[in-house]
């Protein structure tokens, strides 16, 4: 496996590349141009500038997360072809500078959703929390306003431009059920995957987070059967997965079993843990298997069994040692660094046998 770390860019992330350099085993930075809105063409100058910053610090730029998919593509509107053309051109530009894998998602309206960003845990740390009853009762616009008030940084998928049109977008989704969303995803894949094959850049879809419908919006990349259906939409190795253990772990998915079924299509994996409660709530926990509901040791053992050569990164951890005062919610330095040491510890142990 090739270890990576997600970084939000200079001036946009309190964590520095020099900090990341001190975490053992990190080879690559998972990057993006975070100020680009979905549907915007990425400029070659900006891509090259970011490449230089990352490579000068001694990391590879192999993985981009994310290139966001415009809502019109997900909704299947007539304007989608224009946005798919732009998406394809961005992919070509990324391939040209050596990017190997692009992570993206096909979640309607929202990226990952939580009801609380700094829920206190027993040990004094805090973490992202999802309280199911709150989601059932609250108006989504109210939730966004409450959450955005508490953070000074923009969270991925919660950009102001997108949130400004929230009411209108919700109206549009009234005509888009899950079957329609599948059709729109297939249309998108049929256009982009031949280009990916031609320029050798692999696509990895990120599962929906949480892995169940919220606010009455359809969500489709949520379990093994749907993942298998997804891979058949365009049955080509370039159409693959960014398998996120935390997202899939927010529902009762057997992740090692999913890896057994689809390991040859996993290009990127997020190894993290969440603790699920019986009432449907969940909280981000440490990466350790016994701290959450995902058997992270078995996940790593299963990857090892198939001699996994793809990219891996730790994902949302807790905020510890006071870093919630400065770190981006879910993307602190310390617990992700501890996560890396746990993942590599299990991996090295398997290698030594
Ligand atoms: Mn993830």
Instruction: CATH number of the domain at 24, please.
Output: 3.20.20.150
Using the mean position of ligand 1's atoms as its centre, give its distance from the Cα of residue 208 in Å. 9
- Flag whether pLDDT at 156 surpasses 70: no
Domain count along the chain: 1
Q: Do residues 37 and 138 make contact, with C-beta atoms less than 8 angstroms apart?
A: no
- When pLDDT is cut at 50, 70 and 90, the band that residue 141 belongs to is confident
Residues 96-109 have a mean pLDDT of 95
Separation between Cα atoms, residue 2 and residue 303, nearest integer Å = 12
**Structure confidence at residue 152 (pLDDT):** 55
**Structure confidence at residue 237 (pLDDT):** 97
Using the mean position of ligand 1's atoms as its centre, give its distance from the Cα of residue 206 in Å. 7
**Structure confidence at residue 327 (pLDDT):** 87
Q: How many Cβ atoms from other residues are within 10 Å of residue 216's Cβ?
A: 10
Using the mean position of ligand 1's atoms as its centre, give its distance from the Cα of residue 284 in Å. 12
The catalytic site residues sit at: 206, 244, 270, 315-316, 331
**Structure confidence at residue 241 (pLDDT):** 98
290: buried, middle or exposed (CB in 10 Å: 19+, 13-18, 0-12)? exposed
- When pLDDT is cut at 50, 70 and 90, the band that residue 170 belongs to is confident
Cross-strand partners of 103: 65, 204
Separation between Cα atoms, residue 219 and residue 123, nearest integer Å = 34
Using the mean position of ligand 1's atoms as its centre, give its distance from the Cα of residue 211 in Å. 11
Using the mean position of ligand 1's atoms as its centre, give its distance from the Cα of residue 269 in Å. 8
Using the mean position of ligand 1's atoms as its centre, give its distance from the Cα of residue 78 in Å. 30
- When pLDDT is cut at 50, 70 and 90, the band that residue 116 belongs to is confident
Closest CA to 264 of 295, 229, 228: 228
**Which residue would you say has higher pLDDT here, 156 or 58?**
58
Q: How many Cβ atoms from other residues are within 10 Å of residue 18's Cβ?
A: 9
* 68-82, 191-205, 315-329: range with lowest mean pLDDT: 315-329
- Flag whether pLDDT at 112 surpasses 90: no
Cross-strand partners of 239: 203
- Flag whether pLDDT at 65 surpasses 90: yes
Using the mean position of ligand 1's atoms as its centre, give its distance from the Cα of residue 315 in Å. 6
Using the mean position of ligand 1's atoms as its centre, give its distance from the Cα of residue 332 in Å. 14
Q: Do residues 117 and 143 make contact, with C-beta atoms less than 8 angstroms apart?
A: no
Using the mean position of ligand 1's atoms as its centre, give its distance from the Cα of residue 181 in Å. 21
Using the mean position of ligand 1's atoms as its centre, give its distance from the Cα of residue 240 in Å. 15
**Structure confidence at residue 299 (pLDDT):** 98
Each residue's pLDDT tens digit, 17-29: 999 999 999 999 9
- When pLDDT is cut at 50, 70 and 90, the band that residue 193 belongs to is very high
Please provide the average confidence, as pLDDT, over all residues in the chain: 92
Separation between Cα atoms, residue 34 and residue 22, nearest integer Å = 24
- Domain of residue 205: give its range: 2-352
* 58-67, 142-151, 292-301: range with lowest mean pLDDT: 142-151
Residues 180-187 have a mean pLDDT of 97
Using the mean position of ligand 1's atoms as its centre, give its distance from the Cα of residue 155 in Å. 13
**Structure confidence at residue 223 (pLDDT):** 97
**Structure confidence at residue 268 (pLDDT):** 98
64: buried, middle or exposed (CB in 10 Å: 19+, 13-18, 0-12)? buried
**Percent of the chain at pLDDT above 70?**
94
**Structure confidence at residue 133 (pLDDT):** 82
**Structure confidence at residue 186 (pLDDT):** 98
- Flag whether pLDDT at 232 surpasses 70: yes
Residues 331-343 have a mean pLDDT of 97
- Flag whether pLDDT at 149 surpasses 80: no
- Flag whether pLDDT at 147 surpasses 70: no
**Percent of the chain at pLDDT above 90?**
76
């Amino acid at each position: 496996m090739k270890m990576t770390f997600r970084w939000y860019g200079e001036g946009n992330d309190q964590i520095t590349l020099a900090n990341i350099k001190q975490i053992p085993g990190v080879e690559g930075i998972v990057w993006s141009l975070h100020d680009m809105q979905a549907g915007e063409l990425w400029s070659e100058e900006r891509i090259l500038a970011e490449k230089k910053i990352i490579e000068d610090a001694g990391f590879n730029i192999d993985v981009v997360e994310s290139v966001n998919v415009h809502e019109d593509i997900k909704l299947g509107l007539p304007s989608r072809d224009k946005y798919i053309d732009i998406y394809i051109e961005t992919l070509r530009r990324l391939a040209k500078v050596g990017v190997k894998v692009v992570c993206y998602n096909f979640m309607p309206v929202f990226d990952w959703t939580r009801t609380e960003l700094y829920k206190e845990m027993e040990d004094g740390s805090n973490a992202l929390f999802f309280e199911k009853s709150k989601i059932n009762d609250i108006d989504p616009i109210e939730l966004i306003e409450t959450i955005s008030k508490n953070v000074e940084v923009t969270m991925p998928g919660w950009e102001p431009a997108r949130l400004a049109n929230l009411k209108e977008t919700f109206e549009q989704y009234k005509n888009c059920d899950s079957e329609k969303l599948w059709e729109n995803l297939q249309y998108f894949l049929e256009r982009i995957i031949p280009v990916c094959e031609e320029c050798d850049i692999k696509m990895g879809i990120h599962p929906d987070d949480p892995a169940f419908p919220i606010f009455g919006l359809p969500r489709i990349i949520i379990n093994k059967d749907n993942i298998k259906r997804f891979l058949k939409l365009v049955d080509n190795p370039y159409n693959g997965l960014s398998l996120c253990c935390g997202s899939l772990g927010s529902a009762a998915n057997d992740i090692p079993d999913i890896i057994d079924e689809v390991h040859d299509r996993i290009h990127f994996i997020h190894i993290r843990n969440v603790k699920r409660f019986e009432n449907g709530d969940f909280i981000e926990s440490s990466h350790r298997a016994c701290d959450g509901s995902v058997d992270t040791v078995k996940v790593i053992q299963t990857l090892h069994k198939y001699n996994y050569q793809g990219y891996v990164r730790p994902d949302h951890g807790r905020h510890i040692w006071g870093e919630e005062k400065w770190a981006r919610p879910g993307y602190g330095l310390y617990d992700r660094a501890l996560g890396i040491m746990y993942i590599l510890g299990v991996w090295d142990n398997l290698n030594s046998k």
